[in-house]
A and B are shown apart, each in its own frame.
Chain A
């Protein structure tokens, strides 16, 4: 008997790879269409027509678009993402440490945001229409309505400027120890948690409530099972599919959405790297960051779909 899970995984991996290829094309075209000229930006005051032409030739900017795209993709497949225009170092060497920083930030935020949101969602569902339910809904909607950068500046204004408890900039030196890390992370993490919690929380609440209205929950109740077991053991697993989906999409959003927060807090991650690279017209770096972000996003989507099948016996087990 062919396992539905395996065939699904193969199919989904294929479609994931195709999306990745299409996105790489978009990224490449997008950066190629960026206004301004890398050679001009690099040379600045020293730009003479001769210098510009020489630099263009050296950077390969005169080649046709197709050739540049193919050599870029070919490089990536061999683990070579090119040389940064501005620092002349391999892109990968610049990227990796920043990527690690970003992942640390996103992971810390996910570890707090997802469990907290699911917990609040369950509480809101259990106390449906009570004061607690309404307070949770209102507060989370209010927080999600604030733009991320505003939340960030409000946090800085309060905790760094007024109370002086935390550094206003999350700059990490190479000598930073654990305490420095924690101090640097608290506010960016808080900002990310506050803006992402609402969606997961509301979806968890809705999913639990719709499962609670089903016949098998009535049956569990009639069997005399206690309330807590019914909710955590009978209802929650059946609500898992939507919860897993939204949670992983939240994580994906966190990984990609760190850009604004990193800039606000001057946190040295990939988001800040990308924004800086755009202003220096450092095309290889921008492209590498874009590819990295889209890979993370597509992978998280794949993981969400995969886990949805894993947690659902109706999809996982063959019909008969």
Chain B
């Protein structure tokens, strides 16, 4: 095998900032290289540079990218366009956003090959249908006539892979192709990617922040941090013998910790209980007849894929969505369904942290203003007492006090989430509802937020309802777990018990879909028939 792609000492700058700093690697046809790192590490920039594309505002200041004997760094714009049309392909993270909403899928997928004259216009939908059938899309003929908004995320991702294949590329870049998907859908798409890369015999770059996924998909792994190469080696070497300390921490993050066994017991009534609540929006029923309960100091994870109703349940408990029927009790006292009718005391005891701290914080308010409000409303603090408490809150969430004067825009994602936690903490709640609070964060930042939540729970004896789709986090962090699918509670109980001995088919499938760094994990899944089309697919909803 000869080298197909050679990147040598590549340095990319945005004005005076280094985005990539001296990156070198080689890739042969038939091999898959994983690019891994946290957000802002330069993974996507590197992957795009490999196919001759730089986002506006970036420039290559030194080094070269040689693809099939052409140096892309000195090629003309039209030569690069020609190359991107014919030899390389790109599969983007969000297929839903990357398909033009104006055109039918069959049209978009075949646009390029028709422009270049590879196939006739009249064959357009036939070619698209065949291709969609190859990627196991349900009723491919109908699918080719669909608009993007009429297909699900997993289907669109497969359609995008289909589009990438159609111009018969020698190199495909997969840019976080499964990050936006549910875990069972992810397994299907991963399996499709492995299949097409093997059939096509092309080289591939696989960008991800998920080490487990990369370890299943790639022959070797390049670890990036702050635009620099940390380490590059064969996949098994990276997983089993990481050399650099950063790589070691990434790998350690994946090694699963012990289950929490000391589930807090109830003295009398549970802290919070939802009894037979039925929930819906408008006239559409989402959650029929669900019951959950948790005790003081307990962490309950509600786990499910998108659309399973887990956030809907959390919103009902917080009083943001009035149940159609059923009751919600706090220490045995029935709560009003609508938060507006709840007493200040009740409102204070249940606090809610949102998934996206960017959206949850007012960009025009300083951190001080954001934290002051609950202290004034719930605690009636002002003057020096208020300042003392503000400083104490910042200390508690391990943020420097001088951030109080800043605006959210000046903070990192992890810092903003800490501010949101501090804002809830200010009310001194008994129950903290965390709605996917770490989903938008990098793995190591996620760990630090979880550690913070754990410490605060221990110190303040709070209970936590932890909404998540992440099974790894559930395993490490929650005493008990409730699994939801299509608005129904499938199974619930102590985490260790559910994970060790799931009773329901859906729970089994969910647990089996969670990627692991173990060698041969995905092969075992493919052999056992866990992938591929199923009659009853959540994905096709």
**A interface residues, Cβ below 8 angstroms from B:** 214-216, 218-226, 229, 234, 237-238, 312-314, 317-320
A314–B101 touching, CB < 8 Å: yes
- Could you pull out 26 A-B pairs where Cβ atoms are within 8 angstroms? A214-B97, A215-B94, A215-B97, A216-B100, A218-B55, A218-B92, A219-B90, A219-B98, A219-B99, A219-B100, A220-B100, A221-B53, A222-B48, A223-B84, A223-B85, A223-B90, A224-B80, A224-B81, A224-B82, A224-B83, A224-B86, A224-B112, A225-B85, A312-B101, A313-B147, A319-B150
Q: How far is the CA of A219 from the CA of B103 in the complex (A)?
A: 14
- B-side contacts of A220, CB under 8 Å: 100
A215–B112 touching, CB < 8 Å: no
B72, CB-defined interface residue at 8 Å: no
A314–B100 touching, CB < 8 Å: no
Name the one of A219, A223, A313 contacting B149, with C-beta atoms under 8 angstroms: A313
- B-side contacts of A229, CB under 8 Å: 115
- Interface digits, B84-118 against A, CB 8 Å rule (1 contact, 0 not)? 11100010101001111110000000011001000
- A-side contacts of B100, CB under 8 Å: 216, 219-220, 234, 238
Chain B, residue nearest A314 (CB): B149
A317–B147 touching, CB < 8 Å: yes
Interface of B is mostly: helix
Chain A, residue nearest B84 (CB): A224
Q: How far is the CA of A222 from the CA of B49 in the complex (A)?
A: 11
A216–B53 touching, CB < 8 Å: no
B51, CB-defined interface residue at 8 Å: yes
B71 to chain A, nearest CB (A): 18
Number of A-B contacts (CB under 8 A): 66
B470 to chain A, nearest CB (A): 25
Given A313-B149, A317-B147, A320-B150, the answer on whether A223 and B112 have CB atoms closer than 8 Å is yes
A317 to chain B, nearest CB (A): 5
Q: How far is the CA of A230 from the CA of B112 in the complex (A)?
A: 12
A308 to chain B, nearest CB (A): 13
- A-side contacts of B85, CB under 8 Å: 223-225
- B-side contacts of A214, CB under 8 Å: 97
The tally of residues in B whose CB lies under 8 Å from a CB in A reads: 26
- A-side contacts of B82, CB under 8 Å: 224
Chain B, residue nearest A237 (CB): B102
Given A216-B100, A222-B53, the answer on whether A317 and B112 have CB atoms closer than 8 Å is no
B150–A317 touching, CB < 8 Å: yes
- A-side contacts of B102, CB under 8 Å: 234, 237-238, 313
Q: How far is the CA of A222 from the CA of B53 in the complex (A)?
A: 7
B141 to chain A, nearest CB (A): 16
A57 to chain B, nearest CB (A): 58
- A-side contacts of B94, CB under 8 Å: 215
Chain A, residue nearest B167 (CB): A223
A319 to chain B, nearest CB (A): 6
Q: How far is the CA of A319 from the CA of B85 in the complex (A)?
A: 32
Given contacts A216-B99, A314-B149, A317-B149, 20 further A-B contacts (CB under 8 A): A215-B92, A216-B100, A218-B92, A219-B90, A220-B100, A222-B51, A222-B90, A223-B84, A224-B81, A224-B83, A225-B81, A225-B85, A229-B115, A234-B102, A238-B100, A313-B101, A313-B147, A314-B147, A317-B150, A319-B150
- Interface digits, B8-52 against A, CB 8 Å rule (1 contact, 0 not)? 000000000000000000000000000000000000000010010
Q: How far is the CA of A218 from the CA of B51 in the complex (A)?
A: 14
Q: How far is the CA of A117 from the CA of B150 in the complex (A)?
A: 34
A222–B97 touching, CB < 8 Å: no
Q: How far is the CA of A317 from the CA of B55 in the complex (A)?
A: 33
A212 to chain B, nearest CB (A): 10
Chain B, residue nearest A229 (CB): B115
Chain B, residue nearest A317 (CB): B147
Chain B, residue nearest A315 (CB): B149
By Cβ-Cβ distance, the 8 closest A-B pairs, closest first, are A224-B84, A224-B85, A215-B97, A224-B81, A216-B100, A237-B102, A219-B98, A313-B147
**Which of A224, A312, A320 counts the most chain B CB atoms within 10 A?**
A224
Q: How far is the CA of A214 from the CA of B148 in the complex (A)?
A: 15
Q: How far is the CA of A313 from the CA of B82 in the complex (A)?
A: 31
Chain B, residue nearest A234 (CB): B100
A215–B98 touching, CB < 8 Å: yes
A51 to chain B, nearest CB (A): 65
Q: How far is the CA of A319 from the CA of B398 in the complex (A)?
A: 46
Q: How far is the CA of A218 from the CA of B98 in the complex (A)?
A: 8
Chain A, residue nearest B94 (CB): A215
- B-side contacts of A317, CB under 8 Å: 147, 149-150
Q: How far is the CA of A320 from the CA of B143 in the complex (A)?
A: 10
Q: How far is the CA of A37 from the CA of B97 in the complex (A)?
A: 64
Q: How far is the CA of A320 from the CA of B55 in the complex (A)?
A: 35
- B-side contacts of A320, CB under 8 Å: 150
Within 8 A of A (CB), among B342-363: none
- B-side contacts of A312, CB under 8 Å: 101
- B-side contacts of A224, CB under 8 Å: 80-86, 112
Q: How far is the CA of A312 from the CA of B148 in the complex (A)?
A: 12
Chain B, residue nearest A221 (CB): B53
- A-side contacts of B53, CB under 8 Å: 221-222
Chain B, residue nearest A311 (CB): B102
A226–B147 touching, CB < 8 Å: no
Q: How far is the CA of A207 from the CA of B85 in the complex (A)?
A: 28
- A-side contacts of B55, CB under 8 Å: 218
Q: How far is the CA of A215 from the CA of B97 in the complex (A)?
A: 6
- A-side contacts of B111, CB under 8 Å: 223, 225
- B-side contacts of A237, CB under 8 Å: 102
- A-side contacts of B83, CB under 8 Å: 224
A225–B115 touching, CB < 8 Å: yes
Q: How far is the CA of A317 from the CA of B80 in the complex (A)?
A: 37
Chain A, residue nearest B164 (CB): A223
Q: How far is the CA of A222 from the CA of B87 in the complex (A)?
A: 12
B164 to chain A, nearest CB (A): 9
Given A224-B85, A238-B102, the answer on whether A219 and B150 have CB atoms closer than 8 Å is no
Chain B, residue nearest A320 (CB): B150
